[in-house]
Structure formats: structure tokens, C-alpha cells
Amino acid sequence: MSTADLFALFLHFLSLSVFATGGAMALASDMHRYVVDDHAYITHTQFVNSIALAQAAPGPNILFVTVMGWQIAALPGALATTLGIAMPALIFPFVISRLSRMQQFDRLLKALQRGLGPVALGLMASTSFLLVRQVPGAWIGPAMIAATVLVLSYTRLPPLVPIAVAGAIGAFVPW
Amino acid sequence: MPPHPVTEEAAEAQTTPPRSPGEIFTAFALISLQAFGGALALIERTIVYRKRWLDPKEFLGLYAVSQVLPGPTGISFCVMLGDRFFGLRGAIAALSGFLLVPSVIVIAIASVFQQFQHVPQVQGALHGMGAAAVGLIITTALRMGRTLRGNRAGMVVAALSFGSVGLARLPVGTVVLSLGVLSVMWAWRSLGR
């Protein structure tokens, strides 16, 4: 991968980060288009692996972006994606200190929360839809997804439990 | 750190700012290392009750701001908190604490998996973990959906957002700048009434 490609990758993640309303996972469908569909830097399976590994490892889920970058171009790739997602946040304190002097700051905050919440939900649904469509295994994959949703919705078990169990089962069933 | 009984009142009574950016770095590194999906509760426990850098009210305020700021919530929160005490140095300390150590670990795990990816069992385990990860994302979406109950305008916006990004595959930026802006304007107006 050339330096120019790396820089473009960094810029893409940088510009995406600004729109991350409701977390980095909401951006997955855009990231997928860039790194899998348009540039074929990694395969769909590698893309899903990044998400799975980041959720299984300690640390915030946003690190799936780091794993993705690592799979694309080792350390330079990981730096490009991670810094791209994290760096725009560094300017916020300045923006906020300006805004908070505004008379109706509380109203603005509430309006942003109320207005962006449903958009964020639509984005998470889009990410879910993208990943569900290409799940591996004729029935075992869908069954594991359904079981995870049920376990996480109706018990208080931490997410790591279904991920570990599905990983252990997955190692020994034919896919 | 000496163990002391921590109550909500005690935390409210007195806050002590962090002594150095280094202390912020260490605190966020420890938080993120214990975070397996969902760091919020952990952040609150550390920042409000153990370290007492913020009282519960200040914490919620800062969290609300991080949530609506452009950018992933956890990242925004690190930056806002670090900045509050040590400016840019503090922001960088919090952010790198939150990301640096766990990213080294996750990369180590990923490269081990990569090394053995031709082994069918490893591939199978990854498939299984991937399926569960998808289940986790769906659960999060369902949980978010529950907050919209009874909010018809919100449901319409969510449906449009899904339709344009999930089905029509429009760029997220386009949708946030059009639908998002309209939706915030609508909320702004209805709050004025």
C-alpha cells in the first residue's frame, strides 16, 4: 500500500469520525464500503473478524477500527485508521467552551440529543443489516446471532460470555 | 489507594482534581482494560466515586455533551475530561490512556489469530465470535429502538436513516448533514413550545 493510499485512508476515517453520532459502530457500513467494496483492502470476513476480535479483547469496541487498519497495512494502517477516528475529537473542547456561553445551550444540547438519537438508531440498524446479510454458515451463524440477542436481552450476562461461547462452539462445528 | 466507604453524598461533598496528566493516563488505561463492551458504568465508578474528579452531576453533564458531540462518545468524553483539568495535554493523556494499551493488546491477539487463520478450528472460532458480535450489535440497536416508543417523529427519522444508509447505501455524512440537521431543527423547535 502506497503512502498516498495510507493518507487517503486516514483522511477517510478522519472525515467519517465527525459523523459518528452514536458511536463508531454506526459508521461500519461506510467503512465497509471504503475498505471492502471500493478498494478491496480486506475481505468481508476480515472486516467481521476485526469487529469480533475487538469485542472479545479488553478495551473499547472502537478498537475494531485499529484491528481493521492493522489488517490493511500493519502498524501504519492501524495508526491511519485509529488516529483518523480519534483526532477530530481534540478540537471539541474549544468548540464547546464557545458554545456553552450561548444563551440557549441547554436547549441546543437537548435538541441534539433528541434529534440525533433516531438517526443513530437508523445507523446501527444499517450496520446490523450489513453484517446479518453475509453471516457464514447455513444455519449455525444465524442461530448464534439469535441466541446472542436473546441472552443479552433477557439476562444480565456480559457480552463477553456469548462471544466466548460462540467462539468455542464455532471451533468445533462444521461451517 | 486506601479503601474508603464511598457514598453518593460523600462524592458530592468533595471532589479532588487529578494531580497530573499522568494520573489521567493511568486511570483511563485501567478503565479501558476492564471494558468489555460498554465503558460508561466503569468510567462513572472511577471518575466519580473512586477518584472523585467530578461530582455525579458534573459527570452526567460532561457525558451528555460527549454524546451529542460529533465523534465516538468514549473518545469525546476522554478529551473533554482531560481538557477540563490540563488542557490539551490532559486531553491527549486521557485519549492515549484509553486507546494505547488496549490497542497493543488487541493487535497482539489479532496477529496471533492471523498467524493461525488457515487452521480450520481457528477460522471456525472466528466465525462464531463474529456471529455473536453481530448479535451484540443487533441487541444495541434494539435497546436504542426501545427509547423511541411512542415517539412517532423519531420512528420516521430512524426509518429514513436506515433506508438511506442501510438500504440505499448513501454515505453516512450525507445523511447526518441532511436528515440529522433537519431532525435536530425539528427537536429544537418542539422544545421551544
pLDDT tens, residue by residue, B56-74: 888 988 888 888 887 788 8
The domains of chain B are located at 8-149, 151-193
3-state secondary structure A129-155: HHHHHCCCCCCHHHHHHHHHHHHHHHC
Q: Which residues of A touch B136 (CB under 8 A)?
A: 55, 148, 152, 159, 162-163
Place of cell 465503558: B39
User: Residue B91 — very low, low, confident or very high, per pLDDT cuts 50/70/90?
Assistant: very high
Mutate to test the interface with A, among B103, B111, B190 (most CBs of A within 10 A): B103
Which is nearest to A17 in space by CA: A74, A85, A76, A70? A85
pLDDT of residue B37: 57
Which of A84-88, A102-106, B11-15, B182-186 ranks highest by mean pLDDT? B182-186
Tell me the per-residue pLDDT of B129-185, one tens digit each, with 9 for 90 and over. Answer: 999 999 999 998 998 899 888 889 999 999 999 999 999 999 999 999 999 999 999
User: Residue B13 — very low, low, confident or very high, per pLDDT cuts 50/70/90?
Assistant: low
Nearest to A145 among B72, B131, B175 (CB): B131
Q: What is the mean pLDDT of residues A138-162?
A: 92
Question: How far is Cα B129 from Cα A45, in angstroms, rounded to an integer?
Answer: 12
Q: Contact B163/A120, CB-based, under 8 Å?
A: no
Nearest to A118 among B95, B148, B165 (CB): B148
**Segment 19-48 of chain A within 8 Å of chain B by CB:** 19-27, 29-30, 33, 45, 48
Place of cell 477460522: B123
pLDDT of residue A24: 84
Nearest to B184 among A112, A140, A147 (CB): A112
Query: Helical H runs in chain B?
Result: 8-13, 21-34, 40-44, 56-68, 73-115, 120-146, 152-162, 172-175, 181-192
Q: Contact B34/A58, CB-based, under 8 Å?
A: yes
Question: How far is Cα A113 from Cα A110, in angstroms, rounded to an integer?
Answer: 5
Q: Does position B118 have pLDDT exceeding 80, yes or no?
A: yes
Minimal C-alpha gap between A155 and chain B (Å): 12
8-state DSSP, B147: T
User: Residue B1 — very low, low, confident or very high, per pLDDT cuts 50/70/90?
Assistant: very low
Tell me the per-residue pLDDT of A58-79, one tens digit each, with 9 for 90 and over. Answer: 888 889 999 999 999 999 999 9
Q: What is the mean pLDDT of residues A45-51?
A: 93
User: Residue B38 — very low, low, confident or very high, per pLDDT cuts 50/70/90?
Assistant: low
Q: What is the mean pLDDT of residues B35-42?
A: 70
Q: Does position B5 have pLDDT exceeding 70, yes or no?
A: no
Q: How many contacts, defined by CB atoms under 8 Å, are there between A and B? A: 366
Q: Does position A94 have pLDDT exceeding 80, yes or no?
A: no
Q: Does position A130 have pLDDT exceeding 70, yes or no?
A: yes
Q: What is this structure's pTM?
A: 0.87
